[in-house]
Structure 1
Amino acid sequence: MTGKLIIFSAPSGTGKSTIVRYLVDKDLKLRFSISATSRAPRGDEKDGVEYHFLTLQEFKARIEKGDFVEYEEVYKDNFYGTLKSEVDQILAAGEHVVFDVDCVGGLAIKEIYGDRALAIFVMPPSVDELRNRLEKRGTDTPEVIQNRLDKAKHEMSFAPQFDAIIMNDDFDKAKRDTVKLIKEFTAKE
């Protein structure tokens, strides 16, 4: 069996990362793709666990060598990206690769891998509900929440370019719909 790629993209606060963690914990032969970054580790983060930590110079050198499936400079000198070697290692193990990436990165991966990849966009029920979720987190200032909402509106405009849209207005239903979608996709040859 050949491994496939399952890409998740969504605005912050939609429940995308929670859905991805749930799926990886199920017995679906899914393995999470660990991104590379040029930023320094935070707190207890460990290289190869949360991220593959590279220096800015290492990251740029690997860009030059063509080592990334996709990458983006999110903030000045803070790059994030998906290493081809990470994807190849998971596929070689006969597992499916799961990505939790932004819309641009997700669509870039889909373009490279075509029918071997399933691009899923997790949609919030509404911008108002997204605001409520972000406020309930209690981790961001009102200004940061507004920035996230502005970015979310932009990201939601990409949704029609994805293979599937999962509406996360009922978390249990969103999980069930996503599992069904992935089982159907990974069963195809």
Structure 2
Amino acid sequence: MTAFVSTAVATPPRRGLMFVLSSPSGAGKTTMSRRLLVDDEQIVMSVSVTTRPPRPGEIDGRDYHFVTEAEFDRMQAAGELLEWAKVFGYKYGTPSARVQDALHAGRDVLFDIDWQGTQQLQQTESGSDLVRVFILPPSMAELERRLRSRGTDSEPVIAHRMRRAATEISHWGEYDYILINDDPDVCLHEIRAILKAERLARRRQLGLAAFVRDMLG
């Protein structure tokens, strides 16, 4: 009887990446983020700190870390935030320590942030770990329809979100990938494809040189 010899190969370790999804409100980034997290165990959500009060159903530490304005300002001054921005009167920011721990452990970190936060991440991290994806609506008319279908915003708020959307969309050229969210299932498939390709990028394969050396030696 011939003994079975396993040919399984240990996957070389890799460094995690910071995967940014940005879009104007109503274009789908939050929905895409939630769906991606459900079926991908290699990626974790970056939980932001914010000065805004919790909304019904939100849990501190899961949805956001809810802090006072004074605590937010202290974190900012101490350099504990990778990025921060003021949106609709409230401050939002990304704590640095947990993100760096995840990256070093080979896990990816998902960011649901706007163009301002993305610019700051680019400057802070020099782009080495950053993958930027911008999600566009199929049209401005469809974006307004989606905002109205929520049934949660007043007419002035919707008008403000539409004005802000135009500003946000004008920054599309700063992103690595641009997707049009006409069909959510197709858009999610494209996001997964981008994530898979970026994970396989040579610069992220930390153990690849040693793996090839051992294979040839």
User: Match of 1:104?
Assistant: 116
Give yes or no for the alignment of 1:20 onto 2:33: yes
- For 1:179, the aligned partner's letter is R
The sequence identity of aligned pairs, in percent, is 36
Deviation at 1:28, TM superposition (A): 5.2
Distance across 2 between alignment mates of 1:144 and 1:25? 31
Distance across 1 between alignment mates of 2:107 and 2:138? 32
User: Match of 1:33?
Assistant: 46
Gaps of 5+ in 2: 1-13, 205-217
Distance across 1 between alignment mates of 2:189 and 2:143? 21
Distance across 2 between alignment mates of 1:67 and 1:112? 12
Distance across 1 between alignment mates of 2:163 and 2:86? 19
Alignment match of 2:68 (pick from 28, 36, 55)? 55
Higher Cα radius of gyration: 2
Describe how 1:101-140 pairs up with structure 2 within 5 A. Answer: 101-113=113-125, 114-140=127-153
Secondary structure at the residue paired with 2:153? Answer: coil
Deviation at 1:44, TM superposition (A): 4.1
Question: TM-score by structure 2 length?
Answer: 0.81
| Cα displacement string for residues 34-54 of structure 1 (whole angstroms, at most 9, x for unaligned residues) | 000123333343321111122
Report the CA distance shift for 1:157/1:179 in structure 2 as closer, same or farther (over 3 A): same
Report if aligned partners of 2:15, 2:105 keep a CA contact under 8 Å in 1: no
- RMSD of aligned residue pairs (Cα, Å): 1.5
Question: TM-score by structure 1 length?
Answer: 0.93
Report the CA distance shift for 1:40/1:83 in structure 2 as closer, same or farther (over 3 A): same
Report if aligned partners of 1:7, 1:98 keep a CA contact under 8 Å in 2: yes
User: Match of 2:195?
Assistant: 182
Distance across 1 between alignment mates of 2:56 and 2:148? 24
Distance across 2 between alignment mates of 1:74 and 1:141? 17
User: Match of 2:214?
Assistant: none
Counting matched residue pairs gives: 188
Distance across 1 between alignment mates of 2:59 and 2:186? 34
Report the CA distance shift for 1:116/1:104 in structure 2 as closer, same or farther (over 3 A): same
- For 1:178, the aligned partner's letter is I
User: Match of 2:86?
Assistant: 73
Give yes or no for the alignment of 1:10 onto 2:23: yes
Distance across 2 between alignment mates of 1:30 and 1:185? 13
Secondary structure at the residue paired with 1:3? Answer: coil
Secondary structure at the residue paired with 1:20? Answer: helix
User: Match of 1:146?
Assistant: 159
